[in-house]
Structure formats: structure tokens, C-alpha cells
Amino acid sequence: MIGVIVRPEQKAIVGEFFELFKTPWEFHRPGRFYDVVLAAGELPEVKTKLLIIYSSERIAFDGSNRLETGSKLNRGSLIWDDKNVPLYRGLLPFVTYAEGVSCLASRAGSAGVVFSEQNPRVIRAGFSLFEEVAFLVGEGQPVEQAQIPTLDLHIDILRRWILRAGISLVEIGPSPAGYEFTVCLTHDIDFTGIRNHRFDHSMWGFVYRAGAGSILNLVRGRISPARLFQNWRAVASLPFVYLGWARDFWAPFAWYLEAEKELPATYFLIPFKKRAGEKVPGRRAARRAAQYDVSELSDWTEVLLRSGCEIGVHGIDAWHSAERGREELGRVSGATGNQQTGIRMHWLLRDELTAATLEQAGFSYDSTVGYNEAVGYRAGTKQVYRSPGAEKMLELPLHIQDGALFFPQRMNLSECNAAEVCQRMIDNARKSGGVLTVLWHDRSHGPERFWGDFYLGLIKSLRELKVWFATGSQAVDWFRTRRGVRFEVDESLGDTDIQIHSEQVEIHPPLSIRIYRPERPGEHGGARVLASFAEIPWTGESPKYVALEIAARSELASGIPL
């Protein structure tokens, strides 16, 4: 059990942190013994095996333990497992620490010092964990740090500190039992065909890019002669497409259903035609209006739903108006018959009030938090979480987007470089679990973009892994169930017997109860034995008993090193 000591205004973000690091915890009760105590700043007397003090300010502990600090930095970065972990709320580096040993590095000095000879063992961290978490799930990371899963790395640091102290740990993992991570394939449908665009900016832009623009891309080595010919042929076919004599090469649904055969996907559809929306930034705000609305797609919505796919709202004004949000939700729910509907805002528009506004409008989840100009982790995590301002609505973060990878004004990557970036994100997901949310737009598979082959390759590589493919609602509902799990410790048995309760008793795919075996010294002076965990699938039968001390010593817990 972890006991937490924080200021009253930090309690909400502490609760959210421990929905992501799903392990037994409570706010510290004086006089009670805890395996671990986390303290933000100065602290009273505690009974514990491991005390971790987080603060980016100098405190009395530093002087009494001969810790010399450098000047506080407004921002900094940690070095953890050869990765840079950015800090956004300040770093107090430790310059000398005569009685301790550095356990966390930074470019400015030590960011964490362990006093292992004390009783209890103490780790002094020179940053404020919960302030960092609040920044990540609130404001989000700047695009320069987009590809760092910062919040997930903070969880990893804390978990490893606990295990290195020789303390066993139980956790409900962020992926279903038997799966490395979850994948959500999503599509923002801005266009349903070029037939809807006659002599407007979309048509003329296509003609230019597929015509003269293709010659420039051929010279730059970005497309092949075969692609050039395909683009020119598409331009030449436009009159026949408008007459209905040729296939509409922007039509998205049949292509995606074939590409994702037997996989569920989530389609975010525009509720109203020719609405650009209000409060839209930029000179080209009028171009945000779509030339279709969901009511015109009744045949396709039936096909998508029969195929196991989900239909959500591609919102127009819901991000700033609950009234407009209810109108947009009603429009799509009326077309699908599903009242539990998620949303992703068109152009990813949002502000600090958006989460509360969308919840008030009645959406079950949002999937807007991501980047237009990059791929990565805006909130620093692959987990579904709750944004500040929301009480029940959850956020399914967006990670990989086609336009961000390939548009010249954005990352402008070659397919080879894009594959490397995506593979790093897949590797991150395999290591720490969570959800990898992928967005491929409606016309990306056809001329003049031709990003379809890359998408097929991405799906193929994901199919080869132990991945749960889920719709947005399925992934969010699974995390909602995980968030509803409660831990109870049987104090009569010395804090080693834990009951795990769930209100839901039909959890599919099952939750993963992970029993961590801590690091320990090697026998006869050999190398240290790394921490490892055993996984116990659990479908919600209640209560589930976990005896930490027995499990930590069992052979079951020796197979998966961290």
C-alpha cells in the first residue's frame, strides 16, 4: 500500500495519477504503516519502508542531510534508461550529496538521490511529480517533445524505485491480459467523394497537386513515374466521375473495409453539411465546412455497423458550445441509434474548457487530444485518462496521424522515415501497454496522396503482434472498467493480503493483475536479479485475493523481467 501526502489542491490530480498507475494507494493516515510513502514537500513523521519526497523547491530535509542544490530551473529533463524525460514545472538539481547516491540523472546534476542507509530508505526527487502530471493532462506537451511518452515514463520511474527497494507490488496493467497493447484504428471523414466538389477549392487544389505538383514531386524523388501517371489519369477521369461513369477515387468506405478486413474501426462523421463552425482560427476558416452530412450516408452507416465498426461525431462547434454539441450528438445518434457516442473535433479544435463542455453535451468520450503537426503523445501517455474539467467523460488520446507524417507543412517524412517513427511508437506501446490510436483520413488512400500502401503495411505489422484491436468505445469502456477496480488491504494479515473488487463481473477481454517480484541481490555476490512480474487474467469475479508475499516468492513471478 502506498500512502500519499499532498496539499489539498493536489488531491484530484493524485487520484487521476493512480488511475493510470493502478496500484493500491490512499491518502496518508497518521500512525498507519505503509510500504511506500510519497510526499510533496515537507512531511510529518511516517512509518514506511520507502519514503519518496518530490519537490522542486529546497526543503528542510535537504539541509539536514547535507544536500547541496543548484539553481532551480523552470524546465529541465531527466535521463532515464537512456531517454530524456522532459520536466515542465521545474527542476532542482542536486550538486553534492555526501550521504546519498544519485539514482536519477539530469543534464544539470542529479535529479534524484537515494539514502539507502537510513531507516526508512529515502529518495529525494528534485521535481514535483503531481505538478508534472497536472501539466501533461491539462496543457499537454509542446510539439518539440511530442514523441516522448513522458507521463508513462514517470510511472516507470516510480515503479522501478519501489521494486529496487525490495518491495513487492500489485498492479492492474494498462492492457488486457494476453495482449501487449490495444490499437484503435480511426478515420476522420471530411470528404465522402470528389463528386461533392465541383469547381471549388478542393477540386482545384486536387487538380494542381495531381497535375503540376506531381511533376515537382517526381523531380524531388517523392513519387515514382507510375504514381505520376496515376495522378494524371485521375485528373483526366474527373468529368467521367462527375457523370457517374467512373469510380470516385476519393470514396473511402469500401477501401477501408477491405484494408481492415475483420478489424473494428471507428469512423467520425460530420453531422451537418456546409457548417464551417464558429470561433475557428485562421484565414481559411470557411474551408472547414464539409459538403456532406451524416444523414446522407444511411446505406454506409448500416454497412459499417454490421461490420463491427463504430460511428462517432466529427464535431464542428461542440468544442466550445454544449448546446451545439447536443445538436451534433443528436444528429449522429439519430442516424446510428446509439446514444453512447464519442467525438473527435474537426481540425482538433479545443481549449481548456472543452472537456467540461463535451461532457455537458453528453458525449461518452473524446479523442481530440493530439497534434495536427506531429505524431506523438500530447498528454505524455498511451492510456485513456480523464481531462481536467470532466467528471466521467474520458479521453482517448490520438497518437499517429497520416497528415502529420506526410504533409509538406508538417513532418514531411519519406515513407521510410515515417516507418521508423511509427515503429518507435509501436515499441513504446509493447513496453508499457496502453492504447495506440491511429488516424487515417478519408482520401489518403487515393490520388494524389497515395498513403494507402503505407497504411496497409502498418496494419500488417500490427496484426503480427499480440494486439487487441478495438473501437474507440470498446477501448474506453475497458479502461473505464479498470478505473472502477478497488483495492482493499487486509490489515490483520500484515498488509500482504489484498482484495481486488470490480463492479463488473463480465470483463472481456480480461483485466491483467500483475504481481511484481522486486529486484534483489544476487546469490554469492552475483549480479542483481532484475524485477519481474507474473500476469493473472481476471474477468471480474469478486473479490480476488492476492497474497503479495507468496506471489513474490513463487516461480510464477520470475519469468518477465522489467
Q: What is the pLDDT of residues 110-137, one digit of tens each?
A: 999 999 888 889 999 999 999 999 999 9
Residue 266, pLDDT score: 98
Confidence check: pLDDT of 485 > 60: yes
If asked whether residues 210 and 66 sit together in one domain, one would say no
If asked whether residues 303 and 224 sit together in one domain, one would say no
Cell 507543412 locates to 409
If asked whether residues 306 and 363 sit together in one domain, one would say yes
If asked whether residues 93 and 221 sit together in one domain, one would say no
If asked whether residues 26 and 167 sit together in one domain, one would say yes
Structural contact between residues 404 and 143, judged by C-beta atoms closer than 8 angstroms: no
pLDDT in tens, 68-99: 999 999 999 999 988 899 999 999 999 988 88
Domain final position from 448, 479, 510: 479
Distance CA 264, CA 467 (A): 13
If asked whether residues 15 and 154 sit together in one domain, one would say yes
If asked whether residues 237 and 93 sit together in one domain, one would say no
Mean of all residue pLDDT scores within the chain: 90
Instruction: State residue 49 phi and psi, 5-degree precision.
Output: -85, -35
If asked whether residues 344 and 430 sit together in one domain, one would say yes
* Grid cell in block for residue 131: 505538478
Instruction: Tell me whether strands 47-54 and 33-40 are parallel, antiparallel or unpaired.
Output: parallel
pLDDT in tens, 181-216: 999 999 999 999 999 998 889 989 989 988 888 898
Distance CA 540, CA 535 (A): 15
Residue 283, pLDDT score: 84
CA 238, distance to chain mean position in Å, is 40
pLDDT class of 34 with cuts at 50, 70, 90 = very high
Q: Residue 315: which CATH number?
A: 3.20.20.370
Structural contact between residues 151 and 434, judged by C-beta atoms closer than 8 angstroms: no
CA 359, distance to chain mean position in Å, is 19
Q: Domain range holding 231?
A: 194-248
If asked whether residues 334 and 349 sit together in one domain, one would say yes
Domain final position from 439, 459, 479: 479
Structural contact between residues 408 and 154, judged by C-beta atoms closer than 8 angstroms: no
If asked whether residues 524 and 403 sit together in one domain, one would say no
If asked whether residues 50 and 162 sit together in one domain, one would say yes
pLDDT in tens, 517-561: 887 765 545 555 666 788 889 898 766 666 654 454 444 444 455
Q: Residue 159: which CATH number?
A: 3.40.50
If asked whether residues 100 and 244 sit together in one domain, one would say no
The total of structural domains in the chain comes to 4
Domain final position from 459, 479, 499: 479
Q: List, in sequence order, every residue forming a beta bridge with 432; answer none if it has no partner.
A: none
